[in-house]
Structure 1
Amino acid sequence: MKYGLFNLTYKREISKKTVEIGEEFQITTTIENRKMLPITFLQVEEKYPKALGIENYNYNLFIMPYQRVKRTYNLSGNKRGAYFLRNVVLGIGDFAGFNMERKGIEFLQEVLVLPKSLKLQEAVVPYGNFNGPISVKRWIIDDPLMTIGIREYTGYEPERYIHWPSSLKYGQLMVRNFDFTTDNSVLILLNVESMKPFWVGINEDVLEKSISLCRGLMEELEEEKIPYGFTTNAYGININEKQNYYPKVGQNHLNYLLETLSKISYGASMPFEALLEYFLKRKGNHTTFVVVTPKIFSSYIEPINVLTKTANRVVVISLQEENLNRLSNNIIKYVEG
């Protein structure tokens, strides 16, 4: 009892820190008795998130002097999320457990379970009069020889898009409606409000579908090598984090955003219309905005319509048809199919 915890070490290793739903990974624990005295009764108390398949994992050991005991077991996540593996308690005492000396060992390890991937072609159908292949190519890549033209400046476009000769001719600021193929980039905006206000109720199924659609979008954009960024009004995701919304391509960028998707909570840090207005004021250089939302609330209509004046193309993917008919006809719309 007096010397049992002396020179006793515990180590825990995780084989994978990012896994798919249902994918197995290994936890390996190593306990080492670094002294001449044996430990006749060691109680180990490990706690894991329930979603990983094991909640409380307790076992007893007899350890000889200078002996190392290694245990390996498999876990798997059954639900998207960020899961923390926390502290471990070691107990020294008698077999009956009446007299115990305990020691807590601090651990904080994270396992990320990624969302499922939903492909556009499998999950959504066009809404209204829009017909054509359900693909990011339809949104981005048009005929490079087509004439785009000039339109009136709304105050939201970057100054570099102003066409000065036309502005002088018409007596007001005009901007270029440029070719998509010259400067393509996409910003995906995920809304986690399934009700108004969000805390009235949360529809987990529809939010998980929305998150899975975002993953499918990112993977398709990555495959087409079209720069893409991501932002959301989910609590805990910083919209000022440039690494999120700045358009990029590459496996590291995709991995970072997929890990971000795994961490998304159901709580909203702000109304979705506030997020839209934030990016309207930024006057960024994204040529296409893709809104992924459980539904379109009335308060979203005006800021989404304004997006059509700041970007070449706006796409709305709503899992419900409500209010889609009130959006601009220039917007490409999809619903769950």
Structure 2
Amino acid sequence: MFLLTLITIILIVYIIEQNSIKNALKGIEYTQNTSLTLVEPNEEFDIVCILQNRTRRFVAFLRLKEKFSKEIELFLKNSEKFDNNILESSHYLMPRQKLERRFRASIPKRGRYFLYGATIFGGDFLGISETIGDYSCIEEVVAIPKESKLPDIEIKLSGYIGDISINRFIFEDPILTAGFNDYTGQEPQKMISWVQTARVGHLMVKKYDYTLELIVTVLLNIDYNGDNNEELVEECFSIGRSVCQFLESKNIKYRFITNATIAGTRPIWANSDYGWGKNYLMNILEGLGRAVYIVREPYEKMLDRALNFAELGVGHILITPKMEESYLAGKDKLKELTGYDVCMLTPNQGGE
């Protein structure tokens, strides 16, 4: 009788053990996401990890190994173990329980960073073995470049934009015609619109808006193989951010062109016309955050693209790691087509 009872108990334990091994991770779900997908360097955000039991059974033991880009800094409690970009923890789940864990985090420098998901180990009934499940996922966080610390960048940009506005005032451009007024005798004869005069039967003069459609093309070049290459290119990305923010603050439409490789996406602004506004700016800043040190095309090809878009009255701002003699020819070509000089900005020299 005792032997029969013992065999029955062993059989029951065996069945439970096999069932626990088979279903160790059945109904277990895991996701990762972030409260922000676009952040400033050192800006804090939340990483949200959700572990869920979809079944009606009690899950006694789960061990998690969650993986993040090593550059992501997590602010953890002393009891939590984070080593070699792996966060380890153990949990149990009640039936239908959803366990949400939040961690404060930050990223110290510009770039593209990832949350890779987790490996989950489910324990068996007897604690002898573990069932391993791969819960990989790819979630991105992009850190945009810091603003440039060049002390006189805004002064140089203000001077350049001011020069364009003055030239447009001195040399009237028919493109800037905003309407027509009656001729008073005080206006120069060249301002008379003969078409409008013929239409209304008396002398009419053109009314100019000297701030109408002031537009700029921003060129960001990283085709440079000299000393401190990465450091200088990083500063160029920061200058690019500061230039775009300056143009936004002045309500100036602009086009953004770069020969840097933008990882993970094809930016909307790559083929867009001149733009302006928060969404346009944030799209460019995201692109600068994703940019890597791989030159997508040489400077000469990027310049050719700019020349294709160049037209009379358009300003150009060139950001480059270092001034090269070969850039001067392109600068002269742009000036010839637009009527304006090119504002050149470098990390070491500021502007020229």
TM-score normalised per structure 2: 0.72
Distance 1:42 1:310, change over 3 A: same
Matches within 5 A, 1:47-86: 47-54=67-74, 55-86=85-116
Matches within 5 A, 1:1-337: 1-54=21-74, 55-93=85-123, 99-118=129-148, 122-124=151-153, 134-135=158-159, 137-142=161-166, 145-147=169-171, 181-195=211-225, 203-236=229-262, 246-283=273-310, 287-313=314-340, 314-320=342-348, 334=351
How far 1:216 moved relative to its partner?
Answer: 0.8
Q: Which letter maps to 2:141?
A: V
Partner SS for 2:294: coil
Q: Which letter maps to 1:311?
A: T
Contact 1:140/1:181 (8 A) holds in 2: no
Larger mean Cα displacement after TM superposition, 294-303 or 280-289: 280-289
Taking only the aligned residue pairs, the percentage that are identical comes to 27
Q: Which letter maps to 1:234?
A: A
Aligned residues: 287
Contact 1:233/1:269 (8 A) holds in 2: yes
Q: Which letter maps to 2:99?
A: V
Structure 2 stretches of 5 or more lacking a match?
1-20, 75-84, 175-207
Contact 1:136/1:220 (8 A) holds in 2: no
Distance 1:145 1:305, change over 3 A: closer
Q: Distance in 2 between matches of 1:98 and 1:123?
A: 68
Per-residue CA deviation, residues 113-136 of structure 1 (Å, 9 max, x unaligned), is 11111266x25499xxxxx78555
How far 1:286 moved relative to its partner?
Answer: 6.6
How far 1:143 moved relative to its partner?
Answer: 6.0
Q: Which letter maps to 2:101?
A: R
Q: Distance in 1 between matches of 2:126 and 2:68?
A: 25
Q: Distance in 2 between matches of 1:182 and 1:212?
A: 29
Distance 1:119 1:147, change over 3 A: farther
- Of Structure 1 and Structure 2, the greater helix share is in 2
Distance 1:249 1:236, change over 3 A: closer
Distance 1:282 1:249, change over 3 A: closer
Contact 1:125/1:334 (8 A) holds in 2: no
How far 1:242 moved relative to its partner?
Answer: 5.1
Q: Which letter maps to 2:241?
A: R
Per-residue CA deviation, residues 37-63 of structure 1 (Å, 9 max, x unaligned), is 222221111111122115211211122
Distance 1:3 1:289, change over 3 A: same
CA-atom RMSD in angstroms: 3.2
Larger mean Cα displacement after TM superposition, 139-148 or 233-242: 233-242
Q: Distance in 1 between matches of 2:233 and 2:126?
A: 49
Contact 2:53/2:94 (8 A) holds in 1: yes
Q: Which letter maps to 2:235?
A: K
Q: Which letter maps to 1:22?
A: N
Structure 1 stretches of 5 or more lacking a match?
127-131, 151-177, 322-332
4+ residue stretches of structure 1 with deviation over 4 A? 94-98, 123-126, 132-136, 237-245, 282-286
Partner SS for 1:70: strand
Per-residue CA deviation, residues 41-87 of structure 1 (Å, 9 max, x unaligned), is 21111111122115211211122222222211111010101212223
Contact 2:169/2:210 (8 A) holds in 1: no
Q: Distance in 1 between matches of 2:312 and 2:124?
A: 69
Q: Distance in 1 between matches of 2:266 and 2:172?
A: 32
Contact 2:219/2:318 (8 A) holds in 1: yes
Per-residue CA deviation, residues 138-182 of structure 1 (Å, 9 max, x unaligned), is 3442265413699xxxxxxxxxxxxxxxxxxxxxxxxxxx99734
